[in-house]
C-alpha cells in the first residue's frame, strides 16, 4: 500500500505538469492571436512555475537507483582533529537532524558516544521519510572543517575531519543473508544521556557480526528503553551495513573493470566547510558551493544533494 500511494503521487505530479504545459501552449496561442501584453506577463509567470515543477520532477527521476526509496541510517564518526573533530561531529549531528526535520522526515537518535571534552565521538540517526536514503546517500564520505579553533588558547586555525556513513534500511534485500550463528548478542546498561528507565536496566544491545574475523561488524543501539526494540533496530543497522558492503563491492568491481582508480584515504574529503579565512562550503565532486555556511549548518543541504544526484548520473552503473 505504501508503494501504491507513492506511485500514485508520482503519477499525479506528472499529470499536473502535463496539464500545466498544455495550458501554457493554449495561452501562448491566445496571446499571439490577440497581441495581449498582460496575458504574456501571465504566461511568463506560469512558465517559471512550470520550470520549477520540471526541476522537481527531474530530481524524482534521479532517485531511481536500488533502495533510493528506503529509509536510512546515517552515522557520523569524528576523525582527525582531536576535540575539534569531536565538536565538528556534534555540529554535523545537529545539521542532519535539522535537515531531516525541515523535510518533515522522522528522525531518531539510535546511538551516541560523547566526546572526551566536547562534542561526540560518534552517533547514528534513523531517518524515515520518502526517499530518505536516496537523498542522504549524497552525504556519505569525509567532511572537512577549517576554522579558528575555540579549544586552544591561541585560537589558531584548525582542520578537522568527520566521516559520514549512510545505509539503506532493508528487510528484504536478496544480497543480505544473516545466519543466527554469525551474530553474537551482548546486552549492557545504556550510558550517556537517557530518560527514566533507560540507564537503570540492561536495555542496550551490542551485535557483533562474525566476531574475530576480518568481516567483523559491531553495531550498538541504546536509545530505546526496551532491549527487544534496541535489538530490532541494531539488526536493521546491521542489514544496512551488510547491504552497503555488498553494493560497494559491486561498485569497486565495476571500477576495476573500467580501469578507474578510487582513493580510500580518510583525508580524501568530499566536501569542505571553510569558516576561516573566508566562509564557503564546497562539494569537491559536483563542484556545487555556497558562501552561506550558516544556512548549510542549519540543515540547508538539499541543493548539495540535488547537485550530487545530477553529478552522479551514469556513475557506478546507476542514474
Q: List the pLDDT tens digit at each of the 319 positions of the chain.
A: 877 887 888 889 889 989 989 988 888 888 888 887 788 888 888 888 888 888 888 888 888 888 998 999 999 999 999 999 999 999 999 999 999 999 999 999 999 999 999 999 999 999 999 899 999 999 999 999 999 999 987 889 999 999 999 999 987 777 788 999 999 999 998 775 544 444 557 789 999 999 999 999 999 998 887 899 999 999 999 999 999 998 888 878 777 765 655 444 455 789 999 999 999 999 999 999 999 999 999 999 999 999 999 998 866 544 4
> Is there a contact between 81 and 111 (Cβ–Cβ < 8 Å)?
no
Which CATH fold would you assign to the domain 66-319? Alpha-Beta Plaits (3.30.70)
Task: Say whether 113 sits in a helix, a strand or coil.
Answer: strand
C-alpha cell at 195: 530518560
Question: Could you tell me how far CA 94 lies from the centroid of its own chain?
Answer: 13
Q: Are 123 and 109 in contact (CB under 8 A)?
A: yes
Residue range 137-163, pLDDT digits in tens:
999 999 999 999 999 878 899 999 999
E strand or H helix at 100: helix 82-102
User: What is the reported pLDDT for 55?
Assistant: 81
Domain ranges of the chain: 2-62, 66-319
32-64 confidence digits (pLDDT tens)? 888 877 888 888 888 888 888 888 888 888 888
Give how far Cα 77 sits from Cα of 198, 204, 235, Å. Answer: 23, 20, 20
Place of cell 535537515: 99
Amino acid at each position: 500500500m505504501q508503494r501504491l500511494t507513492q506511485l500514485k503521487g508520482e503519477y499525479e505530479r506528472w499529470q499536473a505538469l502535463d496539464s500545466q504545459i498544455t495550458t501554457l501552449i493554449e495561452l501562448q496561442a491566445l496571446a499571439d492571436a490577440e497581441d495581449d501584453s498582460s496575458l504574456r506577463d501571465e504566461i511568463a509567470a506560469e512558465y517559471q512555475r512550470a520550470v520549477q515543477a520540471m526541476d522537481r520532477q527531474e530530481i524524482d527521476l534521479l532517485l531511481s537507483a536500488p533502495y533510493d526509496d528506503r529509509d536510512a541510517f546515517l552515522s557520523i564518526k569524528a576523525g582527525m582533529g582531536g576535540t575539534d573533530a569531536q565538536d565538528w561531529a556534534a555540529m554535523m549531528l545537529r545539521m542532519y537532524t535539522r535537515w531531516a526535520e525541515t523535510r518533515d522526515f522522522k528522525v531518531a537518535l539510535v546511538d551516541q558516544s560523547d566526546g572526551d571534552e566536547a562534542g561526540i565521538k560518534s552517533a547514528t540517526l534513523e531517518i524515515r521519510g520518502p526517499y530518505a536514503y536516496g537523498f542522504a546517500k549524497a552525504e556519505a564520505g569525509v567532511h572537512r572543517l577549517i576554522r579558528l579553533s575555540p579549544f586552544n588558547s591561541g585560537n589558531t586555525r584548525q582542520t578537522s575531519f568527520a566521516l559520514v556513513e549512510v545505509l539503506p534500511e532493508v528487510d528484504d534485500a536478496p544480497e543480505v543473508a544473516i545466519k543466527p550463528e554469525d551474530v553474537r548478542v551482548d546486552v549492557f546498561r545504556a550510558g550517556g544521556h537517557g530518560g527514566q528507565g533507560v540507564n537503570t536496566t540492561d536495555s542496550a544491545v551490542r551485535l557483533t557480526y562474525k566476531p574475530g574475523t576480518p568481516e567483523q561488524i559491531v553495531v550498538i543501539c541504546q536509545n530505546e528503553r526496551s532491549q527487544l526494540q534496541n535489538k530490532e533496530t541494531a539488526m536493521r543497522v546491521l542489514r544496512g551495513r551488510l547491504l552497503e558492503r555488498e553494493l560497494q563491492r559491486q561498485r569497486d568491481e565495476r571500477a576495476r573493470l573500467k580501469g578507474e582508480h578510487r582513493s580510500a584515504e580518510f583525508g580524501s574529503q568530499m566536501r569542505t566547510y571553510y569558516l576561516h579565512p573566508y566562509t564557503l562550503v564546497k562539494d569537491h565532486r559536483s563542484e556545487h558551493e555556497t558562501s552561506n555556511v550558516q544556512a548549510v549548518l542549519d540543515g540547508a543541504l538539499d541543493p548539495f544533494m540535488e547537485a550530487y544526484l545530477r553529478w552522479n548520473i551514469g556513475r557506478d552503473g546507476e542514474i
